[in-house]
């Protein structure tokens, strides 16, 4: 088991996380599937003997420590972390978003990714062979906000800083870190966008989406690179979504 490529996928119970976890399983990775609810994780694992289901609240330091302890006990290493768990949270502008809702968004989108990266890096530094890869799920909102999205937008900008810091600090230990920024992949969370999304000019219009399987294929491409190469930032969107010239 020690030579098997191993991945950890957070937010693996649905949407992008589920598709990526299944793509990695299909590519013969051992995959730890993490998320808050066990049953959706079991469904994502689809009975694969290479899957390890670990219910995890990424905002809880003890739960994240237990996740990586379970990975270490099962496989002895981690080669890829897809740092995916996140939330849109409550919509609002800087003057209307309640501070408790702000903190909940930050806890999931920033602290959760920090905790998972922290434990992944600690294991990657000491395992043999050394090193590994972290892929952070950013967003188009790491570049351009939607209206009334101050919590989500601020945290996704923060992930860009986290990605750069991990890349720099991990360089000496054969740890690569990159970020995928996704725009309008068709999942349960983005279903409303295809019906109508608020635009910068105040109007509401439907936006095009694209098959989430293309995200899974892109993450797998990033994961499969040798550690001597890295996709630092990659943007994948529905071609006609309002991003370039948004609004």
Query: Which are the catalytic amino acids?
Result: 152
Instruction: Please count the helices (runs of H) and the strands (runs of E) in the chain.
Output: 8, 11
Distance CA 14, CA 40 (A): 7
For 91-125, b/e burial (b = at least 16 CB within 10 A) is bbeeeebeeeebebbbbbbbbbbbbbbebbbebbe
φ and ψ at residue 124, rounded to 5 degrees: -60, -35
Tell me the pairing of strands 30-35 and 51-55: parallel
**Is-contact 200 246, C-beta < 8 A?**
yes
Distance CA 219, CA 171 (A): 20
Angle at 238 between CA 111 and CA 46, to 5 degrees: 60
């Amino acid at each position: 088991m020690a030579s098997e490529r191993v991945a950890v996928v957070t937010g693996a119970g649905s949407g992008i996380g589920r598709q990526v976890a299944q793509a990695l399983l299909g590519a013969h990775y051992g995959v730890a599937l993490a998320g808050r609810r066990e049953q959706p994780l079991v469904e994502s694992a689809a009975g694969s003997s290479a899957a390890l289901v670990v219910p995890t609240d990424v905002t809880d330091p003890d739960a994240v420590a237990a996740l990586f302890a379970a990975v270490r006990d099962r496989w002895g290493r981690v080669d890829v972390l897809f740092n995916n768990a996140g939330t849109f949270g409550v919509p609002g502008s800087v003057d209307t978003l309640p501070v408790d809702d702000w903190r909940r968004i930050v806890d999931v989108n920033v602290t959760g990714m920090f905790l998972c990266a922290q434990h992944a890096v600690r294991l990657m530094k000491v395992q043999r062979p050394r090193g590994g890869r972290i892929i952070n799920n950013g967003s188009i909102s790491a570049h351009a906000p939607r209206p009334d999205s101050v919590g989500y937008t601020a945290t996704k900008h923060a992930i860009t800083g986290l990605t750069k810091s991990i890349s720099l600090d991990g360089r000496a230990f054969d740890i690569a870190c990159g970020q995928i920024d996704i725009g309008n992949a068709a999942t349960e969370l983005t279903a409303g966008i295809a019906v109508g999304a608020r635009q910068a000019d105040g109007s509401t219009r439907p936006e095009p989406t694209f098959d989430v399987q293309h995200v899974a294929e892109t993450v797998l491409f990033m994961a499969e690179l040798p550690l001597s190469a890295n996709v630092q930032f990659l943007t994948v969107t529905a071609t006609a979504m309002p991003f370039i010239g948004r609004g």
